[in-house]
């Protein structure tokens, strides 16, 4: 039974600007997506092979009001119909977060609405709670996850395994000590001359490659749920250098011109296999230890088909992941978590005091 049946109807506007997406959405009662608008500055970053924080911040400034306006317009709601505003205040890029947080503060004050500060990484998980969508081309989950819920949060900034006993009651089991898995995808893609963002492009290139051609290492770490992807990334660099007969001081940005297509696709396939296996190995251990009712994946890398396939094959609990459009950054996940905060009576933040926290952890 959705929590909302026990509470008054809650409609929350979610605002997300932690990286390169300027996004706003309205969610009702933590399950019904009413409107969802995402503008991205991805094309402007693509030519630099990664996110340029100054470009992202400037683009948020230009887009935030039109995005919120369009979100309100598509919802056919008035400000008076809303019950609160939820905004990502961390983790993320400082300049980007500031635009969303300051806009949300101004709106909360001027429209007299409660304001909820949202942890971006926790927000990603809540995309899985959307079970109804009035927005075309988004397929919602068939049911809400059940607790205990084991979550794998994998994005350009995060690689975390978290066990949720209930809403807001969770333990961070492990995380990356260096690169996030999405970051490793982006860097390996750059080395292979594939466009940004790397994840989807590695996935496409890997389809034509041989996963067994090269053996790449999996990091062994003390914390059984911790990750490290910088060693794997360096192993790919060394492999590429030796494949083209160059020494280890040969610059990475010159490699893609020397690698042939089959070397590129084989490296992409081997990297994809090793990185995804690393994630699934740890999830298998966590499932045995915590016996979750539902396993969810969240974050941009949750769009990866190989990850979904391996998790399905090797784990036993019900596996859920959001529609691809809700895997990457969006306002819907922030609004959904905001709904649960409102429905479960979390104290709103003081809109005069909310500060960004770029290094916020779970």
The answer to whether 301 contacts ligand KG4 (rule: CB under 6 A) is yes
Closer to Zn ion by Cβ: residue 170 or 214: 170
Binding range to Zn ion, per CB under 5 A, among 126-134, 150-158, 173-181, 213-221: 150-158
The strand order across the sheet containing 294-298 reads: 169-175, 159-166, 149-154, 294-298, 318-320
Nearest to 322 by CA among 205, 72, 151, 67: 151
Q: How far is the CB of 329 from Zn ion (least distance, A)?
A: 4
Closer to Zn ion by Cβ: residue 280 or 334: 334
Closer to ligand KG4 by Cβ: residue 67 or 82: 67
Nearest to 32 by CA among 66, 9, 8, 7: 9
Query: Among residue numbers 247 through 286, which ones bind ligand KG4 (CB under 6 A)?
Result: none
Q: Is 285 helix (H, G, I), strand (E, B) or coil?
A: helix
The answer to whether 228 contacts Zn ion (rule: CB under 5 A) is no
The answer to whether 329 contacts Zn ion (rule: CB under 5 A) is yes
Query: Chain-centre distance of CA 356, in angstroms?
Result: 18
Could you say which of 114, 157, 292, 331 contacts ligand KG4 (CB under 6 A)?
Answer: 157
String marking each residue 32-71 x if it binds ligand KG4 according to CB under 6 A? ----------------------------------------
Query: Among residue numbers 191 through 250, which ones bind ligand KG4 (CB under 6 A)?
Result: 197-200, 203
The answer to whether 21 contacts Zn ion (rule: CB under 5 A) is no
Q: Name residue, tokens 């933590």.
A: 30
Closer to ligand KG4 by Cβ: residue 187 or 341: 187
Could you say which of 185, 214, 229, 321 contacts ligand KG4 (CB under 6 A)?
Answer: 185
Alpha-carbon distance 201 to 186, whole Å? 9
- CA 226 to each of CA 150, 159, 181, 285: distance values in angstroms, whole numbers, following the listed order: 15, 9, 12, 12
Closer to ligand KG4 by Cβ: residue 86 or 342: 86
Could you say which of 49, 145, 292, 299 contacts ligand KG4 (CB under 6 A)?
Answer: 299
Alpha-carbon distance 245 to 259, whole Å? 10
Total number of residues that touch Zn ion (CB under 5 A): 2
Query: Chain-centre distance of CA 326, in angstroms?
Result: 9
Alpha-carbon distance 56 to 17, whole Å? 9
Alpha-carbon distance 340 to 342, whole Å? 5
Token pair listed for 169? 């009651």
Token pair listed for 254? 């010159």
Token pair listed for 272? 């994809």
Token pair listed for 255? 């490699």
Alpha-carbon distance 34 to 159, whole Å? 29
The answer to whether 182 contacts ligand KG4 (rule: CB under 6 A) is yes
Q: In what helix (H) or strand (E) does residue 332 lie, and over which residues does it extend?
A: helix 331-343
The answer to whether 179 contacts ligand KG4 (rule: CB under 6 A) is no
The answer to whether 16 contacts ligand KG4 (rule: CB under 6 A) is no
Q: Phi and psi dihedrals of 130, rounded to 5? A: -80, 115
Residue 63 contacts which entry, Zn ion, ligand KG4, none (Cβ below 5-8 A, type-dependent)? none
Could you say which of 119, 128, 155, 270 contacts ligand KG4 (CB under 6 A)?
Answer: 155
Could you say which of 10, 15, 19, 86 contacts ligand KG4 (CB under 6 A)?
Answer: 19
The answer to whether 186 contacts ligand KG4 (rule: CB under 6 A) is yes
Which residues are at the interface with ligand KG4 (CB under 6 A)? 19, 155-157, 182-183, 185-186, 197-200, 203, 299-301, 303-304, 328-329
Which residues are at the interface with Zn ion (CB under 5 A)? 155, 329
């Amino acid at each position: 039974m959705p929590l909302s049946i026990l509470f008054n109807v809650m409609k929350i506007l979610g605002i997300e600007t932690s990286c390169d997406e300027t996004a706003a959405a309205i969610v009702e009662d933590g399950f019904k997506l009413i409107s969802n608008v995402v503008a991205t500055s991805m094309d402007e970053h693509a030519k630099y092979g990664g996110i340029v924080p100054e470009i992202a911040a400037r683009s948020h400034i230009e887009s935030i009001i039109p995005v919120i306006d369009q979100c309100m317009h598509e919802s056919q709601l008035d400000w008076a119909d809303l019950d609160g505003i939820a905004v990502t205040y961390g983790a993320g890029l400082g300049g980007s977060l500031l635009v969303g947080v300051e806009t949300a503060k101004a709106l909360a004050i001027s429209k007299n609405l409660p304001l909820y500060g949202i942890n971006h990484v926790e927000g990603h998980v809540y995309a899985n709670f959307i079970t109804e969508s009035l927005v075309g081309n988004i397929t919602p989950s068939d049911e809400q996850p059940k607790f205990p819920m084991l979550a794998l949060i994998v994005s350009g900034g995060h690689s975390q395994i978290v066990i949720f006993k209930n809403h807001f009651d969770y333990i961070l089991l492990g995380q990356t000590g260096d690169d996030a898995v999405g970051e490793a995808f982006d860097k390996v893609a750059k080395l292979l001359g594939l466009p940004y963002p790397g994840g989807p492009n590695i996935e496409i290139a890997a389809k034509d490659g041989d996963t067994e051609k090269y053996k790449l290492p999996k990091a062994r770490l003390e914390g059984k749920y911790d990750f490290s992807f910088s060693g794997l990334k360096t192993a790919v660099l060394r492999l590429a250098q030796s494949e083209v007969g160059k020494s280890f001081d040969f610059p990475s940005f010159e490699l893609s011109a020397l690698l042939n297509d089959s070397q590129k696709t084989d490296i992409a396939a081997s990297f994809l296999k090793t990185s995804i296996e690393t994630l699934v190995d740890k999830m298998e251990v966590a499932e045995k230890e915590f016996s979750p009712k539902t396993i969810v994946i969240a974050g941009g890398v949750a769009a990866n088909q190989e990850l979904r396939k391996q998790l399905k094959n090797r784990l036993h609990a019900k596996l859920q992941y959001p529609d691809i459009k809700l895997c990457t950054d969006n306002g819907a996940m922030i609004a959904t978590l905001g709904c649960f905060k409102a429905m479960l009576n979390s104290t709103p933040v003081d809109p005069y005091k909310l500060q960004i926290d770029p290094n916020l952890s779970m």
